[in-house]
Amino acid sequence: MAKKKNRSTAAIIKYDYTNMTDSAIGARHGITEKQIEKTMPHAQEVHRRRVAERKAGKLPFMDLPYKINEASDIAGFAKSTAEKFDNVVVLGIGGSALGTICLQSALNPAFHNLKDNRKRKAPRLFVEDNIDPERLADMLDVLDPKKTLFNVISKSGSTAETMSAFLVARNFIKRTLGPAAVKDHIVATTDVSKGVLRDIADSEGLRSFIVPDGVGGRFSVLTPVGLLPAALVGIDILKLLEGAAIMDKRCRSASPAKNPALMAALLQYIALTRKGKSIQVMMPYANALRDVADWFRQLWAESLGKKYSLDGKVVNSGQTPVKALGATDQHSQAQLYMEGPNDKTITFLRVENFRKDVKIPGGYSKTEGLSYLAGHTFGELIRAEQAATQIAITDNNRPNSTIILPEISPATIGQLLYMLEIETSYMGLLLNIDAFDQPGVEAGKVAAYALMGRAGFEKRAAEINKEAAKVKRKII
């Protein structure tokens, strides 16, 4: 037992960037030693700024790996609560959903929700992260309210999608179990003192957890936003933090050769700004890691896709993140990645040891085209395909790197997510933008308020009507 524990803690993820460099893919698309050296002072200045900002308390997401007491409280609450429920439903969107989805698919069995209660060790998880009427109606249709706990998550309490779902869930509980049941079936995660959801939680006696100040949604997976649902569905959240802390220590080095987040940011920065790689594909070779790529999509897109002025000129920064899945997408995207425009970097995620493996049986020993498979395992096959795709991509001079997970566990996932968060914060500094705001989404919210007839947005509604009248619609 103790031995296993040590091994798990010691499983360290690695970053292989060989194929980002000219030695593997040539100097046109590969990054040369000279380019790295030239950018090094900038990278080190950026590291110093990151350290200074952290010291000044400006990067509270970096304190999260050490909030052990808070996590222990969450784990304790979850343990006593989970046994009362068959279903946990998260009502949240964006950063209030993607971390939870990512942790669930990485760390619970593939068909967790399909197992009957006897075989399942923790409640099922539903994440209601949209305002789709059909999915919501279908979900309420399969849920037994008596056995369902809702966790509504919104720092501001004004997220239209989440609060709409909250109104429906509250009504669902009231209608089926009576008004007194609401406080036993809804838990709120929100601001410590401000906002609509805080007011409701306080006045209606809902159990509540706190979204700390200064941690944006996309950096919130290690706050109660991600930790509470994870703990409720049986994930070891203390091990997650342990993993993040391991990565945190590695990322204290000012030398990219020792700091994988800094090295990755440096390479992506050069690839984007010097080699025209405007797209980053993240391609895990493991179904369990598919939603890491989805979580990363938000982190990278929302943090780095920014407009700013430089010497009086408007600059639109950012690298478009794309989610792919190996080996599946070899049969969907590989043709484009091999022969299409050389405008991408590919980041593979590779798993050295799966938690379960399946041996490929024989039966056709004389059939050429089948016999070579027999005796191998699925784990061997998927790793061989990852290596093969990497070789072919590299032979086509496409920059690629690999994050290698010795296993999929809370500790390695903690390392991985935290590495990607720090990489993103470095990338923001390298691009000289604020990685922690999202000014570009405001206009869409205002337009939605106007179209929904919210008081105070009448002027924008009139403008929209006026604009619409000016343009002749082209519809066929």
Q: Hey, which residues are catalytic here? A: 302, 331, 445
Q: Between 45 and 144, whose beta carbon lies closer to a copy of itself? A: 144
Residue 130 as a binder of a copy of itself (CB under 8 A): the answer is yes
Q: How far is the CB of 314 from a copy of itself (least distance, A)?
A: 10
**Interaction residues for a copy of itself, span 16-55 (CB under 8 A):** 16-18, 21, 23-24
Tell me the CB-side half-sphere exposure of residue 325, using CA atoms within 13 A.
9
Residue 462 as a binder of a copy of itself (CB under 8 A): the answer is no
Residue 269 as a binder of a copy of itself (CB under 8 A): the answer is no
Q: Cα 160 from chain centroid?
A: 22
Instruction: 419-422: list long-range contacts, CB under 8 Å, 24+ apart.
Output: 419/13, 419/15, 419/247, 419/251, 419/260, 419/261, 419/264, 420/261, 420/296, 420/299, 421/61, 421/219, 421/299, 422/50, 422/62, 422/247, 422/248, 422/251, 422/261, 422/262
Q: How far is the CB of 374 from a copy of itself (least distance, A)?
A: 7
Q: How far is the CB of 69 from a copy of itself (least distance, A)?
A: 30
Q: CB 6: neighbour CB atoms within 10 A?
A: 10
Peptide bond into 327 cis (omega under 30): yes
Residue 61 as a binder of a copy of itself (CB under 8 A): the answer is no
3 state SS of 150: strand
**Interaction residues for a copy of itself, span 149-168 (CB under 8 A):** 157-158, 160-161, 163-164, 167-168
**Interaction residues for a copy of itself, span 279-318 (CB under 8 A):** 279, 286-288, 297-298, 301-302, 304-307, 316-318
Q: Between 84 and 307, whose beta carbon lies closer to a copy of itself? A: 307
Residue 464 as a binder of a copy of itself (CB under 8 A): the answer is yes
Please choose, from the candidates 249, 258, 308, 272, the residue with its C-alpha nearest in 3D space to the C-alpha of residue 430: 272
Q: CB 28: neighbour CB atoms within 10 A?
A: 9
- How many angstroms separate the CA atoms of 114 and 190, rounded? 30
Q: How far is the CB of 327 from a copy of itself (least distance, A)?
A: 6
Q: How far is the CB of 93 from a copy of itself (least distance, A)?
A: 5
- How many angstroms separate the CA atoms of 233 and 107, rounded? 10
Tokens 């070891």 sit at which residue?
A: 236
Residue 379 as a binder of a copy of itself (CB under 8 A): the answer is yes
Q: What would the 3-class secondary structure string for 351-389 be?
A: EEECCCCCECCCCCCCCCCCCCCCCCEHHHHHHHHHHHH
Q: How far is the CB of 242 from a copy of itself (least distance, A)?
A: 20
Residues contacting residue 365 through CB under 8 Å, at least 6 positions apart: 371, 374
Let me know: does 421 contact 427? Beta carbons within 8 Å. Answer: no
Q: Between 52 and 443, whose beta carbon lies closer to a copy of itself? A: 443
Among 62, 89, 93, 235, binds a copy of itself (CB under 8 A): 93
Let me know: does 229 contact 90? Beta carbons within 8 Å. Answer: yes
Among 35, 81, 208, 389, binds a copy of itself (CB under 8 A): 389
Q: Cα 243 from chain centroid?
A: 16
Token pair, residue 406, equals 């010795």
**Interaction residues for a copy of itself, span 430-449 (CB under 8 A):** 438-441, 443-449
Q: Between 66 and 434, whose beta carbon lies closer to a copy of itself? A: 434
Q: Between 136 and 254, whose beta carbon lies closer to a copy of itself? A: 136
Residue 147 as a binder of a copy of itself (CB under 8 A): the answer is no
Among 10, 40, 192, 451, binds a copy of itself (CB under 8 A): 451
- How many angstroms separate the CA atoms of 427 and 446, rounded? 29
Among 97, 188, 346, 431, binds a copy of itself (CB under 8 A): 97
Among 139, 235, 270, 430, binds a copy of itself (CB under 8 A): 139
Q: What would the 3-class secondary structure string for 71-138 be?
A: HHHHHHHHHHHHCCCCEEEEECCHHHCHHHHHHHHHHCCCCHHHCCCCCCCCCEEEEECCCCHHHHHH
Among 368, 459, 466, 469, binds a copy of itself (CB under 8 A): 368
Q: Between 75 and 260, whose beta carbon lies closer to a copy of itself? A: 260
Among 6, 48, 132, 202, binds a copy of itself (CB under 8 A): 132
Give the total of residues touching a copy of itself (CB under 8 A).
Answer: 150
Q: How far is the CB of 72 from a copy of itself (least distance, A)?
A: 29
Q: Between 138 and 202, whose beta carbon lies closer to a copy of itself? A: 138
Site string for a copy of itself, 312-351 (x = CB under 8 A): ----xxx-x-xx-x-xx-xxxxxxxxxxxxxxx-------
Among 113, 177, 184, 273, binds a copy of itself (CB under 8 A): 113
Tell me whether strands 148-153 and 14-16 are parallel, antiparallel or unpaired: unpaired
Residue 141 as a binder of a copy of itself (CB under 8 A): the answer is yes
**Interaction residues for a copy of itself, span 179-218 (CB under 8 A):** 196, 199-200, 217-218
Q: How far is the CB of 214 from a copy of itself (least distance, A)?
A: 18
DSSP 8-state class, residue 21: B
Q: Cα 329 from chain centroid?
A: 20
Q: How far is the CB of 449 from a copy of itself (least distance, A)?
A: 7
Let me know: does 186 contact 169? Beta carbons within 8 Å. Answer: yes
